[in-house]
Amino acid sequence: MDRPRPGSHPYMGRQEPREEEHRQFDELEASSLFCPKCKTAVPVRKRLLLVLPEGERYEYLCAYCSTSVGRKVKEVKQKIHLIHTR
Ligand SMILES: [Zn+2]
């Protein structure tokens, strides 16, 4: 007699990591910072300062008075393949 085996569970599908959501949250986190001149939380403008080998350095400027209110280095996750031939 042919009958399906009990206990055989079909796969529910692969769960892929959602890297985009994490990035968006990261942007939101820095969208409002405290400005010492305006003395309140202000919307900021993101400005790319430098591109370093280990990442990109950004500066956050107050949208009203252009005071620098924060800096951040965004790490660039590069897949570096080290190839040893010997
Ligand atoms: Zn300001």
Residue that the structure tokens 């405290």 belong to: 34
CA of 61 to the centre of ligand 1 (A): 8
Give the CA distances from residue 59 to residues 69, 71, 72, in Å, rounded to whole numbers and listed in that order.
8, 4, 6
- Tell me, what's the pLDDT at 17? 60
Q: What is the pLDDT of residue 53?
A: 86
pTM for this one?
0.52
Query: What is the distance between the alpha carbons of residues 43 and 28, in angstroms, rounded to a whole number?
Result: 11
Cα distances (angstroms) measured from residue 41 to each of 32, 34, 65, 81? 6, 4, 12, 43
- Give distance in angstroms: CA of 32 to centre of ligand 1: 11
Q: What is the mean pLDDT of each run of 10 residues along the chain (86 residues)?
A: 62 59 51 92 93 90 94 78 73
